[in-house]
Structure 1
Amino acid sequence: MSHVRKPDWLKTRPPAGERFTEIKQSLRERDLHTVCEEANCPNMGECWSGRDGPGTATFMLMGDRCSRGCNFCDVETGGMDPLDEDEPADVADAVVDIGLDYVVLTSVDRDDLPDQGAGHFAETIREIKARDPSVLVECLVPDFQGEERLVRKILDTGPDVFAHNVETVERLQWPIRDRRASYEQSLSVLRQAHRESDVYTKTSLMLGVGEYAHEIYQTLSDLREVGVDVVTFGQYLQPSRSHLEVSEYVHPDAFDIWQRVAEEEFDFAYCASGPMVRSSYRAGELFVEAVHDGEDVETARRRARS
């Protein structure tokens, strides 16, 4: 179906604006990568510029090549480079210089490293918090092959949001994700984050890859069972002809329904859902809107329902 013309609701404007240009220039000067650019995210301009709240930039740590080969992802696989020891400090400097209030840190998978990059990830969080403790940090992490000691390294740094994406329903994990990933392994990472810290937990699902409605419903149930607080839904878009084909272009009305199901039936703290939504879509604005300063997860849920 990927050869069929995209519907009108998937059309976006090229990113532009003074804020967008400022952030892009700062990143280039430091040779830093963002998943926004590497994954050709359609929302760069909107997220980086913000609306009425803080803009969101998503830094991709540990290079722009991944040790895994997921069939939906546009990031290059293999040919891993050594870690840049200056990257944690460089990212922290960029966050302060740009004046970001909310930052998302994510990374490629680095199965080639002894700690799979967990220490590098944790050091970046520490560097940001050391420079400005008021900056809200969301970490969107790999599964670290389910190793609890590595997940704990991230939790110990005190991120404000801990995110890990299950990507799709259980039945479709393969061939959509790399064989080293699994549904249960991802759930175990999210379960640990909920069990061992007070951090908000978050995940994301792509729609339009062949899933059925009852499978999405079951996934939401599984996510709440392990303590996930925030979920996002977005439309899968084929990066190239060599990637997984689109099974369906899901109508915006269906995304609205899934948002209501997530928030009203399953009591997620909030849900971002729409064809162009990605895991980090307007993450800072949505988090600040949904969660008052110092408010715990349960209080935020009760206020959102009132």
Structure 2
Amino acid sequence: MADLDSRAQLRAELATLPPWLRRPLGQASQMSRVQRVIKQRQIHTICEEGRCPNRGECYAQGTATFLLMGPTCTRACGFCQVDKGHAPMALDPQEPQKVADAVEVLQLRYVVLTSVARDDLADGGAGWFVKTMAAIRERCPDTQIEVLTPDFWGGRDAETSPERRQQQRIEQVVAAEPACFNHNLETVRRLQGPVRRGAKYDRSLEVLRYVKQINPNLPTKSGLMLGHGEQEAELIDAMADLRAVGCDRLTLGQYMRPSLEHLPVRQYWHPEDFERLGQIAREMGFTHVRSGPLVRSSYHAGEPAVTG
């Protein structure tokens, strides 16, 4: 009975969404085709696991975001739809090839590789990103690959400091030459604790700073979710912090509560607010800005520059 009550409450909450947060999922045939390819290969996309509202549009444009290393995260962020709370699965040794096969079959022009946090793995999963990139390039050399990584902080090594261990993992991924290195800050400094359990604001800034130190020509990217109770001044401070570490690209989108077990939405920001914040970001020097209620980290990721 409790589950029924919770579902009813969530449906009621969704029914009160502002009109600008309601949109069709896209062409049903394209959605079905991509979902079938993913299911047949027993791989995962954040588009499906996170129920992204833009997945139909992205599929139609030849882009998709693959979720590597299984659907179970070793952390418990308060906003995220991805499975958590129990031991993650062992790595599927065929996953890199399965992802590459899906990219080839779907004729994807631009691919984003992301992952759950795998603090249980010796290298935090950095090597898995590299293996999957290599597999895709062998099959589809013209496909561009963006990475959206965790902070690579977990794991234990008595001989290496956590800071140096993080750097070594970043070095692995940067050496594989992705088209863009994305790591999300997610929210403002004040709200990191309740929103990003297990992550740290400055630790995430360090990821982006170190990428630029290794390769100043590699575009870096980050994203912020609005709706957790942040103030506009705090968002501007976060954008300034990202620019201070050389971050080139930015996404701003509205947080939408996936279930009653997740953090509630404190505010629905209006499209005009997103337009204003996007303009501020461009004036700060971000070269690729996507700002809107339904924008997510990989939205229009394959476009090298956006002026509007």
TM-score (normalised: structure 2): 0.89
What is the CA distance between 1:15 and its match in structure 2?
A: 3.7
Partner of 2:7: none
1:62-120 deviations in Å (ceiling 9; x for gaps): 00000000000011112211101110111111111210010010000000111111111
Contact between 1:17 and 1:49, CA under 8 Å: does it hold in 2? Answer: no
What is the CA distance between 1:25 and its match in structure 2?
A: 1.5
The yes-or-no answer on 1:191 pairing with 2:206 is no
Residues of 2 paired with 1:157 and 1:251: CA distance? 39
Partner of 1:223: 242
1:196-231 deviations in Å (ceiling 9; x for gaps): 112110000000111111111111111011010000
Partner of 1:282: 300
Letter in 2 for 1:167: E
Partner of 2:135: 127
2:40 corresponds, among 29, 40, 55, to 29
Letter in 2 for 1:154: V
1:164-209 deviations in Å (ceiling 9; x for gaps): 000001111011011x210000000001111111211000000011
What is the CA distance between 1:36 and its match in structure 2?
A: 0.7
1:182 corresponds, among 200, 210, 224, to 200
Partner of 2:97: 89
Counterparts of 1:2-81 in structure 2, within 5 Å, are: 3=13, 5-50=16-61, 55-77=62-84, 78-81=86-89
Partner of 2:117: 109
What is the CA distance between 1:22 and its match in structure 2?
A: 2.1
Q: Which moved more, 1:117-126 or 1:13-22?
A: 13-22
What is the CA distance between 1:133 and its match in structure 2?
A: 2.4
What is the CA distance between 1:32 and its match in structure 2?
A: 1.0
Partner-residue secondary structure (3-state), 1:6:
coil
Alignment length (residue pairs): 283
The yes-or-no answer on 1:203 pairing with 2:222 is yes
Contact between 2:254 and 2:293, CA under 8 Å: does it hold in 1? Answer: yes
Contact between 1:164 and 1:186, CA under 8 Å: does it hold in 2? Answer: yes
Letter in 1 for 2:230: E
Counterparts of 1:230-241 in structure 2, within 5 Å, are: 230-241=249-260
Contact between 1:166 and 1:183, CA under 8 Å: does it hold in 2? Answer: yes
Partner-residue secondary structure (3-state), 1:239:
coil
Partner of 1:299: none
2:126 corresponds, among 113, 118, 124, to 118
Residues of 2 paired with 1:191 and 1:56: CA distance? 27
Runs of 5+ unmatched residues, structure 2? 1-9, 154-162
Partner-residue secondary structure (3-state), 1:283:
coil
Letter in 2 for 1:59: F
What is the CA distance between 1:252 and its match in structure 2?
A: 0.3
CA RMSD of aligned residues (A): 1.6
Residues of 2 paired with 1:163 and 1:14: CA distance? 25
Partner of 2:108: 100
Identical columns (%): 45
Contact between 1:102 and 1:135, CA under 8 Å: does it hold in 2? Answer: yes
Q: Which moved more, 1:122-131 or 1:79-88?
A: 122-131
Asked which structure has the greater RCO (Cα within 8 Å, sep 6+), the reply is: 1
Partner-residue secondary structure (3-state), 1:238:
coil
Residues of 2 paired with 1:15 and 1:117: CA distance? 33
Partner-residue secondary structure (3-state), 1:144:
coil
What is the CA distance between 1:20 and its match in structure 2?
A: 2.6
1:110-132 deviations in Å (ceiling 9; x for gaps): 00111111111111011112222
What is the CA distance between 1:28 and its match in structure 2?
A: 1.2
Residues of 2 paired with 1:49 and 1:238: CA distance? 26
